[in-house]
Structure 1
Amino acid sequence: MLRAAGAGSLLLTLAACRSAAQHSEGASDSATPQRGGTLTIAHHVDFTPALLFTQSAMNLLQRLVFNTLTRYDDNLEPQPELAESWDVSEDGTRVTFRLRQGVSYHDGRAFTADDVVFAIENLTNPERSAQLRSTAEAITGIDKRGDHEVRLTLDHPVSNLFDLFEFMIIPDRNTIEQAVTGDRLNGTGPFRLDEWRPGSGLALSRNDAYWRPDRPYLDGVEIRVITQSDSLVSSLRTGQSQLAVGEAVAGRDAARLENDAQFRITTYDIGGGCSYVGANVAVEPTNDKRVRQAVAWALDRERVVEQAKGGYGLPSASPWPESSPAFSDTHRTHYTHDPDRARALLREAGHDSLSLPLGYTAVPATQTIAEMVQYDLQQVGIDVRLEPYDSAAAQQRLIAGEMPALWTMSHGFAQVTPSTLAVSAYPFNEAHNTSHFSSEEYTDLVQDAWRRTDPGDDTSLGLYRRISELLLDEAFIIDICVNANVQVASTRLHGASINKFSYLTLDDAYLA
C-alpha cells in the first residue's frame, strides 16, 4: 500500500474519465468565475429523507449540504476533502486520517474526529439502509487521536475502502433524527438547506462560513421537482431551469436538446448505472433459471438504447461500464435479441405461455422501458401486467426484497471498485439481495474479490470475470443497457460536476 492520496494508485486500472459528448466546455469555461445568482435545477423525483444515506434517485443534496472524507479524481485516486491526508498500512487493515481544521457545521459547531466516528457507525445502522454497510462494518476499531486525527482498524482488507469514503457523507451527529425526517439538514457543505417543500422542491442558500475560501460562487440553489418529462424539458428550454442531471433528463430528452446552442451536454464515462430487469427466484415460475434466461434472450437491448435512451447508452447484458476493469465485450453481448431461443427455453421449462407482473418506478424514463420490456416478452408468449410504484415505494420494496416475479429499475455501483457491486448494491448483494438469490459459489467469489488490497491485479480481474459469468448464467439480474450519465446545462452555467456516486458538486459552479 502507498501513502496519502497515493493509496488510490491501486485503482488506476479503474479509470473513469469525464468527457463532453456535445458542446464541449472548451474556452468558454476559461472565463473568470462570477459571484452571485441562484441556480435552478430541474429534477424528476422528490427528496426522500429516509433515503439520505443510500444511493437513490435524489443524489443532488448529499454533496451540496454535506462533505465526504475523500473524493476520487478521474482515475479513482482519492483526493483530500475533510481528510487532508492519510496513511494506509501495507496489509490494508489500518488507515490513519488527519482531518481538516477550521471546518464548522452550518450551526457553527466545529467538525472533529467524533463526527467521523459517528459517520462510520451511522452507516452500520440497519435503519439507514446504506448500501456500503458491509464495508463500514469491516472497520472493527476506531481510535480517536485528538480532535483531528483518527485511526481505523479493519477486520480484514477490503478492496473498496475508499469507495466508502467517497460515498459516506459526514452528518451532524446531534441532529441525525431530524435529518432522516427532513426537518433539518446540518452539514459542513457549501450550501444550507433553507426549505423543503414536499412534492415541489427545495431551497438552499450559500454557506458563508464554508471551509473552502471564496466558495461557493452561487448565492443559492433551487431544486424544482418536475415529474413530467415534457415539462422538465420545457423548463430548460425557457430558461426557468439551468441544469438537469442523471435520470432527470433521460437520453431521449437529451437527444432533443443536443443541437440547441443554448445547452452544453456532458456525459460521464463511468455511466449512469444500468437499466435492468430483476427476477424474484423465490416465486414461480422465475425460480426456474430457464425462464429467467428466456427473458434475457427476449429483450431487444439495441431498440431500448435507440428509442428509450435516444442513443445515450450502451446495450449490455452485463452491468459494467467500459471504464471498469470488469468490462468484457463478450459478456456485454452474451444475450442478444433472440425470440426463438427464448421460446425454446420456455417450452423446455414446460411453458407455452405465461402471465407475469412487472413492477417499475413510475417515472417517464422507466415507464418507457417497462412498456418496451412488456412488448418484447409478449412476443415470446409472456403476458406482462405492469405494476407502477412511486419512487419512494419502489426503493423501499427493493430494499425489503418485496418485488414481484419481475421488475425493472436501474442500479448503480458498477462504476467504482467492481467488488462494491456485489457487496453493496441491493439487486446484487451476495448476502441478501432483492431477488432472494444465493449460492455458495457466488458468495465465495464475491468475498474473495472484496477481501483484497489490490483491486486491479490479475487475480482480481479473474474473479471479476467469474462473477460476471455467474451473473449471466443465473440471470437473476438481467441487464439491458449501461445508461449514459448525462448532464444538460445552460451555457450560462460553468463548473458543475458529479462524483462517482452522482453526488452533484457546485463548489466551483457559477452563472455567467
Structure 2
Amino acid sequence: MTKSYRRRRLVVATALGAVLMAAGCTSAVDQADQAKANASAKEGGTLTVAQANDAQPESFLSPALGNITAQYAVFETLTQIDTKTGEPKGVLAKSWTMAPDYKSMDLELRDDVTFHSGRKMTSADVIYTIQQVQNPANTVGTRFIAEQIASATADGDHGVKLTFKRALPNVFDLFEIMPIVDQETFANYKDGKQVVGTGRFTWQSWTPGGKLELAKYPGYRDAKNTHLDKIEIQVITDPTAELAAVRSGRVQYAMSLSTLDTRTLSGEPGYALVKSGGAAQELGFDVTQAPFDNELVRQAVHYAIDRDRIVDQVEGGQAEATALPWKTSTPGYDAKQGERYTYQPEKAKQLLAQAGVNGASFSVVVPDIPESVAIFEIVQNNLKEVGLNATAQVVSTTDYDQRIAQRNLGAPAFLMRCSNALSPASAVVSRPELVADKNNSHFTSPEYTKVVDALTGALTDDAQKQALANYNDYFLDQAFALPVLTRSTLSVRSAKVDGITSTIQGFINLDTAYLTD
C-alpha cells in the first residue's frame, strides 16, 4: 500500500465531527484503462493457466496458494486496495462512512449484485460471511481482525452497521481478503461440487489434482466487460513440464515456474513478466522443543544463514534480504534493524558454544514447493557449517496448510512462505507466525503481547513508528521466527493474453483478462 493510505488508516481525524466517506465508483483512470483494454481485446476464448497447487475450495475465507488464481474470478470482496493509489475502492460496497474514532462504520452495498444461483446479495450475506470468519471452526487467518467486530447488523437489504471493540483503522485489510460467500450453499463449498460466488466467472467443475474449469457468468452486472468465455486452471506440479506447456502454447499463463525459468522466459519475445503481491520466506522454530527452546540457539541460526546467497541463487536477485517480516517499503521500516543479523558463521558458533549446543540434529518441515526446497538446501548447508544437522521433512501444500492452521507443524523447525502485504498492525493479529496467542512457534510472553497491543493500538504517525520500532527490537531479540527474504511473486504470461492484474495481497485477478489473437 502507498504511504498515504497507511497514514490515513493510522491517524484519527483531526476534526472530531468529520467522517471518512468513499464512493465505490470507477475512476477516470480506471475507465480509460478499461476502454483501452476493450479496444484491443479479442472477445471469447479460453484462457489456460498452469499452477503447481491444487484448488482448495474449503479455504476461500483464508488465503490459500491453490486459490490464488480462481478466488477473485469466482468471488468478490467488499473493497479492494487500489494498487496504484493505496486507497480503498468499492467492489461490493458502494460507499462507507467511518466514525472519527474508528470504532464504528456504516456500509452501503450495491443493489445490483447477484450470486451465480441468481439470488440477490443482501446485507444478510455480508453479516453471515463475517460470522463465518469469526467462527474458530473455520480456522481463518484474519479471524483475529474480524473478532474486533463487536456487532454487525442489517440496515435494510443493502446497509450494514458495524461496531468495533476498539479502534479498527485496519478493517480494510480484512475486507480485502474476505470474499462474500453465499449463505445458502457455503456448507457445500468444501467438496468443490457447488461453489457459488458473485464474480465474473462461475465454478463449473473441479477434478482434484487435475484441473478447475470456470465459465463466464452471463448474469454479472457488467458482463459486457468480461472478455473470456472460460478459464481452465491446470495443476502441473513439475516446473519442467509447466515450462514445456507454456512454450508449446498449450498454456498462456504460468504461475509456478522456477525463478530462473520465469526470468529467462519473460525476457524472450512473445512473453512478459507479471509481478504480484509479495511474500516473506521465513524459518520458524518450535520454542518448546530443544535446541530451539534456547534463544541463543535461535539467534545463532540468524547469523548462520547466508541470506544474500539465497537471494542470488534462488531468487535470481529478485528479492531483498532482511531479518524483518515486512517489505522494505513498509512505512516505518528501519533498514538498520533489517540488517541486524548479517552472515557471521563464527559468531553463530560462539553463540552455540555459549548455549552448550554441539552437533544437534533436527528435522525441518518444508512445503513441497521448488522455491522452498531450494531455500532449505542452502539453509541446510549453512547450518552444517556451524555444527547443526538439519534434515528436510517435505510435505504437500495441503498438509502444510493444515499444519499451519492447527498451529502444529510437527517438527522443531519449519520453513514458511507468508504474505507480507498486510500492514504490520494487521499482520501481528493475523499472520500465523506473528500472532501473540497460539502462533506456530508456541512462543508467548507478556512482553510480546504488550508490543503487539501497542502496535495495533497506535493511531498517530509518531506512535505507529515508535510502536513498530519497539516491536521489531523485541521480535529480533527473541528470534522465534527468522525472516530470510521478502519478494514479489513472479509469473509469466504469453503475449497471446493480456489484462492480468493482481490485488495488493497478491491474488491474481483474471476478471478482465483477454486473449489478443
Structure 2 contact 200–223 (Cα < 8 Å) conserved: no
Structure 1 contact 131–424 (Cα < 8 Å) conserved: yes
Aligned length: 488
Q: Which residue of 1 aligns with 2:264?
A: 256
Deviations 1:66-101, CA, capped at 9 Å, x for gaps: 100001112331101000101000011111111101
Deviations 1:320-353, CA, capped at 9 Å, x for gaps: 1122114221122111111111111110000222
Match of 2:352 among 336, 346, 349: 346
Q: Which residue of 2 aligns with 1:411?
A: 418
Q: Which residue of 1 aligns with 2:508?
A: 504
How far residue 168 of structure 1 moved from its aligned partner, in angstroms, is 0.5
Structure 2 contact 291–357 (Cα < 8 Å) conserved: no
Other structure's SS at 1:211 match: coil
Give me the TM-score of the superposition, normalised by structure 1.
0.91
Other structure's SS at 1:273 match: strand
Residues 453, 463 of structure 1: CA spacing in aligned structure 2 closer, same or farther, 3 A cutoff?
closer
How far residue 411 of structure 1 moved from its aligned partner, in angstroms, is 0.9
Query: 2:491 & 2:95 partners in 1: Cα distance?
Result: 31
Q: Which residue of 1 aligns with 2:454?
A: 448
Deviations 1:247-294, CA, capped at 9 Å, x for gaps: x234233122132111111324xx521111111101111010011111
Return the letter of the residue paired with 2:488.
A
Structure 2 contact 48–250 (Cα < 8 Å) conserved: yes
How far residue 453 of structure 1 moved from its aligned partner, in angstroms, is 4.6
How far residue 147 of structure 1 moved from its aligned partner, in angstroms, is 0.4
Seq. identity, %: 31
State yes or no: 1:281 paired with 2:281.
no
Runs (4+) of structure 1 exceeding 4 A deviation are 6-9, 28-31
Q: Which residue of 1 aligns with 2:47?
A: 39
Query: 2:171 & 2:459 partners in 1: Cα distance?
Result: 9
How far residue 8 of structure 1 moved from its aligned partner, in angstroms, is 7.5
Match of 1:397 among 379, 392, 403: 403
Query: 1:132 & 1:328 partners in 2: Cα distance?
Result: 26
Return the letter of the residue paired with 1:392.
T
Q: Which residue of 1 aligns with 2:197?
A: 187
Residues 181, 213 of structure 1: CA spacing in aligned structure 2 closer, same or farther, 3 A cutoff?
closer
Q: Which residue of 2 aligns with 1:307?
A: 313
Residues 7, 257 of structure 1: CA spacing in aligned structure 2 closer, same or farther, 3 A cutoff?
closer
Q: Which residue of 1 aligns with 2:72?
A: 63
Q: What RMSD, in angstroms, separates the aligned Cα atoms of the two structures?
A: 2.0
Query: 2:336 & 2:70 partners in 1: Cα distance?
Result: 38
Return the letter of the residue paired with 1:143.
T
Structure 2 unaligned residues grouped into runs of 5+: 12-32
Other structure's SS at 1:372 match: helix
Instruction: Give the stretch that moved more between structures: 98-107 or 359-368.
Output: 359-368
How far residue 113 of structure 1 moved from its aligned partner, in angstroms, is 0.5
Give me the TM-score of the superposition, normalised by structure 2.
0.91
Q: Which residue of 2 aligns with 1:209?
A: 219
How far residue 53 of structure 1 moved from its aligned partner, in angstroms, is 1.6
Other structure's SS at 2:244 match: helix
Structure 1 contact 159–419 (Cα < 8 Å) conserved: no
State yes or no: 1:120 paired with 2:120.
no
Residues 424, 12 of structure 1: CA spacing in aligned structure 2 closer, same or farther, 3 A cutoff?
closer
Q: Which residue of 2 aligns with 1:88?
A: 98
Structure 1 contact 445–463 (Cα < 8 Å) conserved: yes
Return the letter of the residue paired with 1:88.
M
Structure 1 unaligned residues grouped into runs of 5+: 1-5, 14-24
Q: Which residue of 2 aligns with 1:488?
A: 492
How far residue 483 of structure 1 moved from its aligned partner, in angstroms, is 2.2
Deviations 1:370-425, CA, capped at 9 Å, x for gaps: 1111111111100112111111111111222222111112111x322211111001
| 1:146-185 aligned within 5 A | 146-185=156-195
How far residue 180 of structure 1 moved from its aligned partner, in angstroms, is 2.2
